[in-house]
Structure formats: structure tokens, C-alpha cells
Chains A and B, each alone.
Chain A
Amino acid sequence: MKAKILTFSSQGDTTLIEYDPATADMDEVNRVIAEYEAKTGAQPFDIATGERIDKVTRAQNEVLMVHPIAGG
């Protein structure tokens, strides 16, 4: 089963990365997530629990990158 890093976008839900959690280099996954966060401000949430996570592990099969919100 493949794991996914998703985000919401103007195209609806969008897959950023898809990988095999059994064999993937999780440092590489987290590096891609960190790059995406630096660019967009989005942070990872585990979609199984609805909680924000600092690092993605092999235990997470679906992660949603949640974008920043402003008030006004």
C-alpha cells in the first residue's frame, strides 16, 4: 500500500508525493515536506487522527499539508 502526502489547492485535493512507506527514505519524505512548508507555510497533519505532526513516519499513510490562515 502506498502512502501519500496531500494538500488542498485550487484543483481540490492534490497529491504532492506518493511513496511506499515500507521502503521509502523517510528523511527524503520529510525533506520534501520541509521544503513545501518553507515555500507555502503548510504544515503536516495525520489524516488518521486529525492531529498536526512534526515529522512523518512510516506509520502515517495519509498526511495532509494544511495551509496557513490569516484573519481580517
Chain B
Amino acid sequence: MTSATGMVPAIVSVLVLALLVGVIAVLRWRLALTSARSRPWPQPQRDTPRRQANPAFSYGLRGSSPGSLSLFGDNPLNNGVRVAQLTKEQRAEAFLQRILALTGARRANGAYVLNVGKVQFQLRDRFIRRLQNPDDPKSPYEETCFYLVHNGMPKVEEIATALLHLSNNPGLFDKWALQNGVAFKADGKVFDRCPLMGLR
């Protein structure tokens, strides 16, 4: 009885010690997590040329900087003051405006309207309607969804891509509508290395 009573403080001490070790472990884990979150992700060296076969070239993927964009005219300076860094969404919107001007498309009622001959296409986010006679509100129409096989680009760039496709090759609409999940290149040929093929 006496020895059992004597063991109680020892057991309590062990439990308190185990609790302290646990608390310290949790605190260290939280500290490490906070430190990892605050550390910037390593950025790919996009400005590093992949190869330099010819000095006339500079290869490699890199985002266009505002200074190099001709979207806003060839002058990167605005009265001697450098234009503020644009986000990719702002650049994408500027590019879309340029594609709208090139294709003669316009924005109306939340859609991008493109006339090719007598046919009118109305593009929304991943959705296209084709009207055979846009002047007649009761004119028959067809619809199809569309998506870019390489995911992740800004939505307005997807619209710009579809506008360029349709303005050059309006027959692509039929292919998109009839062959779900099959990717077509701008010339109308099937792109059979589509990374998303079979996933939708």
C-alpha cells in the first residue's frame, strides 16, 4: 500500500514530462510550418535562355513585360514615366481588346459577338452559340461548349483564342459541336496529343 502510494507522484511526474514533450513538439512543428509559409517559392529562371544557337535569337519562355508589350503601343515609356507593372489578367484583357479589333468582334450583353459572313457567333466563358440569321430573333441556332486543351490560361485569353479560331475557320464550330472531347488545331486537323483527351 505504502509503495503504491509512493509511486503516484512518480507516475504524475512522468505524465507531466510526457505532456511537456508533446507541447514542445507541437510548438516546433507550428514554428517550422509558419517559417515554410513565409519563405518565397523558388521561381523558375524564365529569363535564362534555354539555348543560344544563334545570337540573333533569345530563346526561352518568359512572360511579356509591359515594357516589351506592343499592345499598348511601341513606346514603353509614358511621358518619361515607366508604366506600372501589369498583372497577367490586365495583359490578357489588353490582348483580348486587340483580338476584338483584329477580328471585328464586339462585346454585347455579356457575350463576345463575332460575325463571319452571314453567320454570327456569340461567345461566353467556354460556351458558343451560332446563329444562322442574327437579324431574325426566331432564327435557329446551335450551341456548343469549348475548352482549351492546355488548362490554366486567363479566361479572356480563352475567348481570344476561340475568336481567332472561328474568324479564320468558322467550320471548326461543327467539329467542336459534333466531336466532344476531340481537340482541333486552327487548321481543322485533330490534335491527337491532347493532354486532357479521355479525361472529360
Residues of A at the B interface (CB closer than 8 Å) are 1, 4, 6, 8-20, 23-25, 28-29, 32, 37, 39-43, 45, 47, 49-52, 61-62, 64, 66-72
Contacts and interface: CB of A to CB of B under 8 A. Distances in A.
Chain B interface helix/strand/loop/mixed: mixed
B157 A13 contact: yes
B157 A71 contact: no
Q: Which of A19, A20, A49, A69 has the most CB of B within 10 A?
A: A69
Nearest to A26: B56
- B interface, how many residues as a size bin? 35 or more
Interface of B: 53-54, 56-59, 61-64, 68-70, 74, 87-89, 91-92, 95, 98-99, 102-103, 144-154, 157-158, 160-162, 164-165, 167-169, 172, 175-187, 191, 193-194, 196-197, 200
Contact of A67 (B54, B161, B177): B161
B103 to A, nearest CB: 6
Given A11-B63, A13-B64, A70-B183, A18 B57 contact: yes
